[in-house]
Structure 1
Amino acid sequence: MSDVKEARRQSGHGEDMALWRMAMYGLPALPMAFLYIPVPLMVPAFYAEQFGLSLSVVGGFLFVSRAFDMLIDPALGRLSDTTRSRWGRRRPWMVIGAPIMMLGTALIFMPPDWANGLYLMVASMVIYFGASMLGLAYSAWGAEVVDTYHGRSKLAGFRETFNIIGILLAVSIPAITALYGHGLDRYTMSIMGWAAILMTPPAIWAAIRWVPEPPSMPKAPAEKPWWPTVKDIFGNFAFRYLCIGFVVLSIGSSIASATLIFYVSYYLGQPELIGPVLLVSFIAVLLFVPVWVKISRRIGKHKAVAYSLFIAIICSSCVAFQLRPGDGWLFVGLMGVLGGASSAFLTLPVGIMGDVIDYDALKTGEQRGGIYFGIWAFAQQIAPALAVGTALPMLDWLGFSASQDNSPEALDALRYVYCLAPLPFYVIAAVLLLWFPLDDRRHGIIRRRLERRRLRKARIQASPDW
Structure 2
Amino acid sequence: MNLFKQYASYAFGAFGHDAFYATLSTYFPIFVTSVLFTGHANSAKMIGTVSAMLVIIRLIEIAFDPMIGGVVDNTRTRWGKFKPWLFCGGLISAVALMLIFTSLGGLADSNDLAYLIVFGIVFVILDIFYSFKDISLWSMLPALSVDSATRTKFGTVGRFGSTLGAQGVIIVVMPLVYFFSQKFSGATGQTQTRAGWFGFATVIAIVSFLGALAITLGTKEQKNLLRENTKKTRLRDVFKAIGENDQLMWLGLSYFMFAFGYVVTNSLLLYYFRYVIGNAGAYSIVGVITAILGVISVVLFPFMVKLLTRQGVYIGGIAVMVIGYIIFLFSGTNVTSVLVGVAFYFFPYPMVFLAALMTITDSVEYGQWKNGTRNESVTLSVRPLIDKLAGAFANGVVMLAALQSGMTGNAKPSDISASGLLQFKMFIFYIPVILIILAAIIYFTKIKLTEKEHAKIVKELETKLKAEKAAGKKIGD
TM range (shorter): 0.7 to 0.9
The amino acid that maps onto 2:300 is: V
Task: Report how far residue 464 of structure 1 moved.
Answer: 9.4
Task: Report how far residue 219 of structure 1 moved.
Answer: 3.1
Secondary structure at the counterpart of residue 314 of structure 1: helix
RMSD across aligned positions (CA): 2.6
Task: Report how far residue 114 of structure 1 moved.
Answer: 3.4
Partner of 1:4: none
- Contact 1:218–1:366, Cα closer than 8 Å, also in 2: no
Partner of 2:284: 275
Corresponding residue to 2:11 among 22, 26, 38? 26
Partner of 1:286: 295
Q: Equivalents in 2 of 1:191, 1:83: separation in Å?
A: 36
Partner of 2:443: 433
Secondary structure at the counterpart of residue 140 of structure 2: helix
Distance change in 2, residues 1:450/1:140 (3 Å): same
Count of residue pairs the alignment pairs up: 448
Q: Please, which moves more after superposition, 179-188 or 279-288?
A: 179-188
Secondary structure at the counterpart of residue 422 of structure 1: helix
Question: Could you list the per-position Cα deviations for residues 226-264 of structure 1 after superposition, in whole angstroms to 9, with x for gaps in the alignment?
Answer: 2x5414422212112111101111221122133222122
Q: Please say if 1:389 is aligned against 2:396.
A: yes
Q: Equivalents in 2 of 1:371, 1:273: separation in Å?
A: 41
Distance change in 2, residues 1:445/1:424 (3 Å): same
Q: Please say if 1:114 is aligned against 2:114.
A: no
Task: Report how far residue 344 of structure 1 moved.
Answer: 1.4
Task: Report how far residue 157 of structure 1 moved.
Answer: 0.9
- Contact 2:243–2:249, Cα closer than 8 Å, also in 1: yes
Partner of 1:38: 23
Q: Equivalents in 2 of 1:175, 1:389: separation in Å?
A: 23
- Contact 1:218–1:361, Cα closer than 8 Å, also in 2: no
Relative to the length of structure 2, the TM-score reads 0.86
User: How does 1:122-133 map onto structure 2 within 5 Å?
Assistant: 122-133=121-132
Partner of 2:173: 174
Q: Please, which moves more after superposition, 423-432 or 92-101?
A: 92-101
Distance change in 2, residues 1:130/1:280 (3 Å): same
User: How does 1:372-451 map onto structure 2 within 5 Å?
Assistant: 372-397=379-404, 400-404=407-411, 405-435=415-445, 436-451=447-462
- Contact 1:109–1:192, Cα closer than 8 Å, also in 2: no
Distance change in 2, residues 1:111/1:401 (3 Å): closer
Q: Equivalents in 1 of 2:123, 2:292: separation in Å?
A: 27
Percentage identity across paired residues of the two chains: 15
Task: Report how far residue 175 of structure 1 moved.
Answer: 4.5
Corresponding residue to 1:90 among 82, 87, 94? 82
- Contact 1:110–1:193, Cα closer than 8 Å, also in 2: no
Partner of 2:372: 365
- Contact 2:75–2:81, Cα closer than 8 Å, also in 1: yes
Q: Please say if 1:328 is aligned against 2:335.
A: yes
Q: Please, which moves more after superposition, 53-62 or 250-259?
A: 53-62
Question: Could you list the per-position Cα deviations for residues 130-174 of structure 1 after superposition, in whole angstroms to 9, with x for gaps in the alignment?
Answer: 211111112111122122223222211100111122224422323
Task: Report how far residue 455 of structure 1 moved.
Answer: 3.2
Q: Please say if 1:62 is aligned against 2:54.
A: yes
- Contact 2:155–2:358, Cα closer than 8 Å, also in 1: yes
Task: Report how far residue 41 of structure 1 moved.
Answer: 1.6
Task: Report how far residue 360 of structure 1 moved.
Answer: 0.8
Question: Could you list the per-position Cα deviations for residues 309-346 of structure 1 after superposition, in whole angstroms to 9, with x for gaps in the alignment?
Answer: 111111112211x2123x12321232122221212123
Q: Equivalents in 2 of 1:348, 1:20: separation in Å?
A: 24
Q: Please, which moves more after superposition, 182-191 or 291-300?
A: 182-191
Corresponding residue to 1:193 among 161, 180, 201? 201
Q: Equivalents in 2 of 1:262, 1:29: separation in Å?
A: 27
The amino acid that maps onto 2:205 is: I
Task: Report how far residue 203 of structure 1 moved.
Answer: 2.9
- Contact 2:327–2:337, Cα closer than 8 Å, also in 1: no
- Contact 2:67–2:235, Cα closer than 8 Å, also in 1: no
Q: Equivalents in 1 of 2:50, 2:190: separation in Å?
A: 22
Partner of 1:208: 216
Question: Could you list the per-position Cα deviations for residues 273-306 of structure 1 after superposition, in whole angstroms to 9, with x for gaps in the alignment?
Answer: 1211233223311221111232012222233122
Relative to the length of structure 1, the TM-score reads 0.88
Q: Which runs of 5+ in 2 are unaligned?
A: 38-42, 183-188
The amino acid that maps onto 1:219 is: N
Task: Report how far residue 176 of structure 1 moved.
Answer: 3.1
The amino acid that maps onto 1:126 is: I
- Contact 2:323–2:344, Cα closer than 8 Å, also in 1: no
Task: Report how far residue 462 of structure 1 moved.
Answer: 6.5
Task: Report how far residue 418 of structure 1 moved.
Answer: 0.8
Task: Report how far residue 122 of structure 1 moved.
Answer: 3.8
Distance change in 2, residues 1:183/1:360 (3 Å): farther
Q: Equivalents in 2 of 1:123, 1:346: separation in Å?
A: 30
Task: Report how far residue 95 of structure 1 moved.
Answer: 2.2
Q: Equivalents in 2 of 1:32, 1:174: separation in Å?
A: 16
The amino acid that maps onto 1:220 is: T
User: How does 1:299-318 map onto structure 2 within 5 Å?
Assistant: 299-318=308-327
The amino acid that maps onto 1:140 is: S
